[in-house]
Structure 1
Amino acid sequence: MYKTLIFKRSLYFIIMVMLISFTVYALDGSTLNDVDIPSFDVISPYVDSNRYTHKKSDATAFNQQYFFDDALEIVTSSGIVYLDEASLAFQVVNSNGYIWSSTIDYNVAGLPNTFKERARSAIILESYNTEATNFAITEENLFTNNTEITTQIITNGFHSTITFGRSGITIGLYVTFGHNKITVEIPDDEIDESGAFKISSIKVYPYFGAVLENNIPGYVFLPDGIGALVDYKPTNPLVSTNYQKEIYDRNIGYNTESNMNNFLSGGTKIYAPVFGFVHGVNQNAVFAEIKEGAPYGMINLYFPARTRGYTTVFAEFVFRKTYRQPIDKVGNTISLLQQFGNEISIKIEYTLLENEDANYVGMAKAYRDSLSSELSGNRYDFEDIPLKLDTIGIERKDGLLFPQTIVMTTFNQFNDIVLDLHDKDIHHIIGNYQGFTRQGVTWSAPMYDKTSSRLGNMNDLESLSKSLTELYFVTEYMKASSRSSGYNQYFDLAKKINDQLYQYISSTDRKYLLQYDKLESLLFESYMELKEYPIDGLAIQSMGNLLYDDFSKQKYLPELIEMLKSSLDSLDAKIALYDVNQYLWGNISSFYEFPMYSSQYITFDDTVPFLSIVLSGSIHLYGPYANFYPYARDELLRLIDFGVYPSFIVTHESSIKLQETGLESIYSSRYQDIQHSISAYYHFVNNALKHVIGAKITHREILENGIVAITYDNDIQIIVNYRSINYNYADQMVTAKSYLIVDLNEG
């Protein structure tokens, strides 16, 4: 036994010596460096695609509608409203004399009556018959047999009570008309589904603004990613599916996926509950904002190939779903119906836009005005833009016998990096320190109490804080690592509707979603510990973009949203969130990993910076890490076009050390390898955006495809040339893949 113990200790010593002295070498014997990042000087060809915004036709939009026969005329403060009492469709006329209709032209030849009834109806209701075993969905509209409608004229609008003929479900509908506003409401307390049929979903005015083929010039605006446009076009039989996306990403509580990393949505998500449509660019437009019901809402876009030649965009609200319930350990399941419906009050506000505001920029400005009380206007008072600089302190991974601790960047090493960037004339740096505890980046969540002594002492951290403009500790409170502490895996974890845990499984650990109360308490406990350090705030991962129901505690999405808002409000610190949904925009000073693209589906025609126009001048926007730009010059021009600041992640040690960790996707971060790229990228963007710090975008015009003019409220205009050839603007040269600054006051 004694010999065995001596052998084990000797083996352990040999292994530890090997681990300590281990270095990665290339085939020629030299030490491997980080992967080079793309050259700033490479001028790649301009390839036109829906990654960009295109110049739109200025063709006139003529009325395609006639007033309803036998319409009920309602006198409102904004003018006369024409109501079709059978369908509750309405028509209004804007100051351009353009007729806005909530339905299609009934007189179009060749349309079957069943389609006309669907298109005319204010509401399309889908429901489940709970007395049937297969949970088949029943669809009804206002022309379904035996449907009863009672309508009362109210101040500036009407109120209708609808009882659907087949399901017996009753809903109350309010539609009111103000100055350039139309508000549609279905209050939760006016929904009665006490019979055998239970609501699946409600579609609200699904053919408001619908366009037949390309009879009207214009487009649909979708809040997909940063923003997207879809032009009205002829029927294309190759378009086999319509667009449908849940607001704030997929509802993740209804699946049997054992690893939630596999439960992904296609493309980029929807960050804001809005949509719109334009009939004649700079002539007539409608912008829709979902004021209530967004957590369970979806945006639908129907294409002509699927809807009798019409393009239409509208909101749908999901009250109830079916789900798969596991019944054994083999994986067999049965189909069940959600017993209690989601409590939803629906409210949509439509804003009528005209002339120079009748476009996606006007929609963004209208939304910015709507959110003005939430967007506090956090502005930097700098002469140069800030650089967001992230670093990694400690990361952990499994070793042969024990977990390994990898020290990537100490406090002093990060400070040296910051001071070196100061010498390169980069003076305003927003530092974000990841992996500041002994458990490192991946295994720390959700317990953050004190910094690791291996990174340095309090004096070192104070010196770093003084060198930085702002210092944030990066934390995660929603996803709890199986390698961490601070929570109980039996009592503190949220569950899906089928009683399964939400699990995110990687090669290094397993993460769970926490119950709301535990999440809240950990956030406060962590804040009380970390506020003793010289930091300006917290950069919190997942919190800005992850929503989940906790069916184990009967707590649901609206409650989580309210808890997050109130919790962040109560913290006396600056908050930065990643990939942030609209409901938390009012709680942050900085938006990290700001989306720079739409999903770029083949059916999309343009990517537009709707979100950045909305948030310009109010929230500091930072793009994804520039270390990983595929075409550096193009991506930097996009930052300038959208008013977004650059970001980098840097480490003292080579990113090769992050192999086999939760951060192995970071392949280029060592400062000595990328320092010149950081300087070149930053100054290229700064020389443009330093002129508009704190200003709001007021106009964005496509002069020619690939040439964009962005105007700010301080009368500075930036001309961006995405092309690979020079462009002449007002007798001034805008060189290839570059930009020009124009002071309109010097006109």
Structure 2
Amino acid sequence: MKRILALIIVFMLLLQTPVFGEQENLNDEGDVKGDVVGEISLEDVAEEEQYKFNFEVVAQNDEAKLFIDKSSNLLRVVSLKTGNYFDTKVMNGQVGSEHVKNIQKSDFVVTYYRDLIRGTTETWDNYTMSIKLDQVEYALLDNGIRCIFTVGDASRIHLDMFPMYISKERMENLVLKYLDDKQRQELLGKHGYYTETKDKYIRNWESKTKDGSPTAVPIPVLKRMYNLFYEIGAYSEEELAIDNEMWGVEAENLNITFKIVVEYVLDGKDLVVRVPVKDIETDPKHPISELILTPYLLCGSVRDKGYLFVPDGCGGIINFNNGKYLTEFSAPIFGPDPLYENKLYSEQFTPSTFPVFGIKKNDIAVMGIIEEGAEIATVTANVAGRVDEFNKISVKFNLFYSERIPLTVGFDNYILKHAERGYDKDIVVRYRFLEGENANYVGMAKEYRKYLEERKAIKKNNVPQQAPLFLEMIATVPRKKMFLGIPYTSYISMTSFDQAQHITETLKQKGITDIVVQYTDWANGGAKNSPFNDIKVIRSIGGKKGLKKFISYSQQNDIPLFFTINMLTTYSTKGISRSKDIAKLINNTLAVKPGFNMVTKVTDRVMEWLISPSFFSKYASEIIKWSNNLGIKGLGLGEAGVLLYGDYNEKNQIMRWDALPMFQNAFQIMDDYNSLLFSNANSYVYKYAEYITDLPVYGSSRRIIDYNVPFVQMVLENNIIYSMPAFNKYSLEGFEKYLLKAIETKSSLKWIITAADEREFIPAYLSDDFRMKYYYKTQFKHWEEKIAELYNLYNEFYQKVKSAEIDSHEIIDKDLVKVVYTNGVVVYLNYSTEEKIIDRLLLKPLSYVVVE
């Protein structure tokens, strides 16, 4: 009985073993290494003592001054108008370990490979390993300063300064004859440093442990050994080289050093921080894998009031001191790399589509914009109590790509595979200083929009006079069939061209004049698509004749019509090169778009190949050729705007940062000839998009996030036309909340529509050779009246604010929101099931009030 009970307990423990992969950091997970300090009260933190700085002016303009204290390398930006300022680091932290306090005083933290084969790493902060050692040099720049850090202690005593093996004769002549009996006993005794054998002495410690990390020998012991060998004895580096050669020992210099440059430049009130990565000096055997830049520039103590702004979905807010210190926010910019650990399950979050993060602290705000290096950046944030008394947000850059390749035998067995080269461009982060009415997340959105407009990085489209209604029409669904025992695929018509025309005519008759149609799964195999280097319109929906007729109708009635193609994926390699045009993983196997069984968390066997970025330029030109021949003026590129990946083909590795210009070039080629529609989009797509559908209005539901705000929508409004996620794909909260969220975010409504019964999709959902998207009720007859009803309500609101912009957005409480527009219109929204009173207005449950 006890044996059975023991087996049950073991089985239950195994069930609780976490699946390896990228998951939200809970409890004390992550890099905190036991440094969690727990909840902090004001009593735990004394009033901050004024740190005595010795500032000198580095740069000045009409808006701000930049100071530096070279004793700590702290820089301060001071607004000339108000005297407000922000610092690049913290010098007077009171809570946390010595390790944490050193990071507070650092310009950066680097993680490098101690052993590339085993993948062992070590992390250094530049305060401990450079500033304290007085290893900083300076050079003035136009409007700034260049700080050159030598990181690492070249004079540090380490184990490999002492021979692993030394002959008895050489030990006697070089060391022992200079020692007294007590010193001899210390060196060779029972608890000594060397063991005597027949012909030699052997050091009692190997240089490295089994995992490849350096053997940890106490510093006092190393200092005593140094004293006996080098100071009392006659040993030297030359003698060490002789011993190593004699015994065939390849000694490694464990005193690794790096030279890293950080430039600080004042631009208006902006502080631009730049790391020229190609100028980093390091040993190729010990490349830097990660760099955290200015880890405490954006922080607020437990005594401050404010919040952190994170790129979570449409935008996320983490309130200072919210008590959620057992978890943290961590999100890669532009989403995770779909090629990274492609076969391992990872928890799926709403991707971070813009390289912006920030802090609101008391009367000021600072927004970070990653200008260069966003492709390799991950934003992290946590609150007071995590490791110290600060609420903070920072950005980490992955400079050297490596991946664990699972082995087929054994549990958690893998080999480490590295990219051929590391990141070799600049890292640039612009910190924008916001004051007054702009010192909040609305101000951040306005400033980011202004930033994009100044750089012509966002397309300016006309503001529609009527609210657009977005309809995504599913044309076909593949169906496996048999003929005389031979399997084949037929395509069931879900919405033919004629039916699509009828649906739009029906809605126009109901007064909906601005309809944007996205026509999906219409050619080249539909949902189970082949490459789009050539085109074959599916016959069951009307073929090319029906397509041209539908295009003619849409043009005559001013209906924006977009034919969606799966530009990045294919289920077939027909017409393209399998070896060159399909991306490869780091182990040189063909890259498949990751897919997992959500119940078992095991990868599926669907072969949906990812097309290599090296093919994009040619591919885009071929797409333009056939689309022009068919008279197509609008292309829907689906998720091509949110997936960013490279190609690890051994013959021509394309890293993620190499791939980004290839994506942009392809979009530019198509934008020159067609209007482009994307389903959600990373910020580098804003330059090419006329429409963006399915823009998130929520976040990833990470525990640390207090609420989400329409940051992306405020950036795009009156520039790019955008929509909500389709009601019948995402919303489980009912019509009222869907309409409320559309009004709060000024987002157009969207539905996924078919003419045929949605039950026709069921066999495709069960297929194991392609992935059919899951749809809720799609048949148009179910939605016809409700679409018109909700649209009319939304359009009534839209007419009052269509040319205005959101001027302020306030979360009164978790269910009550107030939005003010630049034309004076105020909107109150009540998401609760209870009545609310605000500004002397009574809001009924699940309702809104517009005040002009």
- Do these two structures clear the TM 0.5 threshold for a shared fold by scoring above it? yes
Mapping 1:119-130, distance limit 5 Å: 119-130=104-115
Give the RMSD, CA atoms, in angstroms: 2.7
2:279 corresponding residue in structure 1: 190
Query: What amino acid maps onto 2:143 in structure 1?
Result: N
Q: Trace 1:344-355 onto structure 2 (pairs within 5 A).
A: 344-355=425-436
CA contact 1:418–1:468 (8 Å) conserved in 2: no
Which amino acid in the other structure matches residue 378 of structure 1?
N
**Post-superposition offset of 1:448:** 4.8
- Stretch of structure 1 that moved more, 423-432 or 675-684: 675-684
1:152-189 deviation digits (Å, cap 9, x = unpaired): 23333211111111531111111022322111111133
Indicate yes or no: 2:264 matched with 1:165. no
Hey, what does 1:135 align to over in structure 2? 120
| Aligned position for 2:448 | 367
Report the AA paired with residue 153 of structure 1: L
1:288 maps onto 2:394 in alignment:
no
Deviation at 1:290, TM superposition (A): 0.7
Partners of 2:419 and 2:728 lie apart in 1 by 45
User: Could you tell me whether the CA contact under 8 Å between 2:334 and 2:351 is conserved in 1?
Assistant: yes
Q: CA deviation at 1:128?
A: 0.8
Instruction: Look up the SS of the partner of 2:663 in the other structure.
Output: helix
The answer for the alignment partner of 1:298 in structure 2 is: 378
Describe the SS at the equivalent of 1:399.
Answer: strand
- How far apart in 2 are the matches of 1:271 and 1:509? 27
Which residue in 2 is equivalent to 1:601?
Answer: 702
Quote the residue 2:143 is aligned against: 156
Q: Give the CA deviation at 1:307.
A: 1.7
Separation (CA, whole Å) in 2 of partners of 1:391 and 1:623: 16
Q: Map 1:570-719; keep pairs closer than 5 Å.
A: 570-571=669-670, 572-628=673-729, 629-631=731-733, 632-661=735-764, 662-663=771-772, 665-703=774-812, 706-719=815-828
Aligned-partner Cα distance in 2 for 1:315–1:266: 20
Find the aligned partners of 2:691 and 2:268 in 1 and give their Cα distance: 34
Please state whether the residue corresponding to 2:396 is helix, strand or coil: strand
- 2:642 paired with 1:545: yes
Q: Which has the larger radius of gyration?
A: 2
Tell me by how many angstroms 1:666 deviates. Answer: 1.6
Structure 1 residues 92 and 388, CA gap change in structure 2 (3 angstroms)? same
Question: Which structure carries more relative contact order (alpha carbon 8 Å, separation 6+)?
Answer: 1
What is the match of residue 405 of structure 1? Answer: 491
Task: For 1:156 and 1:65, locate their aligned partners in 2 and report how far apart those are by CA, in whole Å.
Answer: 31
The question of 1:98 aligning with 2:84 is answered: yes
Give aligned-pair identity as a percent.
Answer: 21
State the Cα distance separating 1:359 from its structure 2 match.
0.6
Q: Which amino acid aligns with 1:380?
A: V
1:9 — aligned with what?
none
1:76 corresponds to: 60
Deviation, structure 1 residue 67: 4.9
- Contact 1:722–1:737 (CA under 8 A) maintained in structure 2: yes
Structure 1: runs of 5 or more not aligned: 1-61
Describe the superposition over 1:394-425 as per-residue Cα deviations: whole angstroms up to 9, x where unpaired: 22122243223201111111111111111211
Cα deviation per residue 1:503-551 (whole Å; 9 max; x = unaligned)? Answer: 1377895211112232332232122112233443100122101111211
The Cα offsets for residues 70-112 of structure 1, whole Å up to 9 and x where unpaired, read as 3344352245434232432222333444342222242x54555
- Aligned equivalents of 2:361, 2:77: Cα separation in 1: 14
Q: Residue by residue, what CA displacement relative to the aligned partner does 1:27-49 show, whole Å, maximum 9, x if unpaired?
A: xxxxxxxxxxxxxxxxxxxxxxx
Return the offset for 1:147.
6.5
Does structure 1 residue 499 correspond to structure 2 residue 483?
Answer: no
Deviation at 1:192, TM superposition (A): 1.7
2:559 matches 1:469? yes
Partner residue of 2:460? 377
2:833 to 699, 724, 727: 724
| Alpha-carbon distance change, 593 to 256 in structure 1, aligned in 2, over 3 angstroms | closer
1:389 aligns with 2:488: no
Of 439-448 and 625-634, more deviation after overlay is shown by 439-448
Out of 521-530 and 142-151, give the one that drifted further.
Answer: 142-151
Does the aligned pair in 1 maintain the 2:471–2:518 contact within 8 Å? yes
Distance 1:65 1:619 in 2: 49
Letter in 1 for 2:736: R
Structure 1 residues 617, 264: CA separation in 2 closer, same or farther (over 3 Å shift)? farther
CA contact (8 A) 1:123 1:205 kept: yes
Cross-structure match for 2:622: 525
1:229 matched to which residue of 2? 317
Contact 1:419 1:467 in 2 (8 A): no
Q: Determine the C-alpha separation between the residues in 2 that align with 1:81 and 1:664.
A: 53
Range with greater deviation from structure 2 (187-196 or 131-140):
131-140
Aligned amino acid, residue 306 of structure 2: G
Q: Distance in 1 between matches of 2:774 and 2:405?
A: 35
Query: In the alignment, what sits opposite 1:555?
Result: 654
2:128 alignment partner, SS class = coil
The structural deviation recorded for 1:582 is 0.7
**For structure 1, which segment, 703-712 or 165-174, has the greater mean C-alpha deviation from structure 2 after superposition?**
703-712
Q: Which moved more, 1:586-595 or 1:158-167?
A: 158-167
TM-score where L is the length of structure 1: 0.84
State the 1:140 CA deviation: 3.4
1:275 corresponding residue in structure 2: 357
The Cα offsets for residues 131-163 of structure 1, whole Å up to 9 and x where unpaired, read as 774523332323226572101233332111111
1:732, CA displacement in angstroms?
A: 5.8
Please report how far the alpha carbon of residue 647 of structure 1 lies from its aligned counterpart in structure 2 after TM superposition.
Answer: 0.7
Supply the distance in 1 between the matched residues of 2:553 and 2:274 (Cα, whole angstroms): 55
1:556 positional shift:
2.1
The reply to whether residue 209 of structure 1 matches residue 271 of structure 2 is no
TM-score by length of 2: 0.74
Pairwise CA distance, 1:275: 0.6
Cα distance per residue 1:16-70 (max 9 Å; x no partner): xxxxxxxxxxxxxxxxxxxxxxxxxxxxxxxxxxxxxxxxxxxxxx995735433
Aligned residues: 670
CA–CA distance in structure 2, aligned partners of residues 172 and 727 of structure 1: 55
The letter of the residue matching 1:322 is S
User: What is the Cα deviation at residue 287 of structure 1?
Assistant: 0.8
Q: 1:88 aligns with which of 73, 80, 85?
A: 73
CA distance in 1, matches of 2:120, 2:821: 54
Distance 2:473 2:446 in 1: 36
What residue in structure 1 maps to residue 243 of structure 2? none
Q: CA deviation at 1:602?
A: 1.8
What is the rounded CA distance, in whole Å, between the counterparts of 1:300 and 1:533 in structure 2? Answer: 47
* Deviation by residue 1:639-694 (Cα, 9 ceiling, x = unmatched): 11001101111111101111122436123111112212211222222221233234
1:308 to 2:388 alignment: yes
Go from structure 1 to structure 2 and tell me whether the alpha carbon gap of 1:390 and 1:466 turns closer, same or farther (over 3 Å shift). Answer: farther
The alpha-carbon deviation at position 438 of structure 1 amounts to: 5.8
Equivalent residue number for residue 541 of structure 2? 455
Inter-CA distance 470–448: structure 2 relative to 1 (3 Å threshold)? farther
Rate the CA distance shift 1:598–1:134 in 2: closer, same or farther, 3 A.
closer
C-alpha distance in structure 2 between counterparts of 1:589 and 1:440, whole Å: 24
**Cα 1:498–1:637 shift into 2, 3 Å:** same
Q: Cα gap change, 1:130/1:426 in structure 2, threshold over 3 Å: closer, same or farther?
A: same
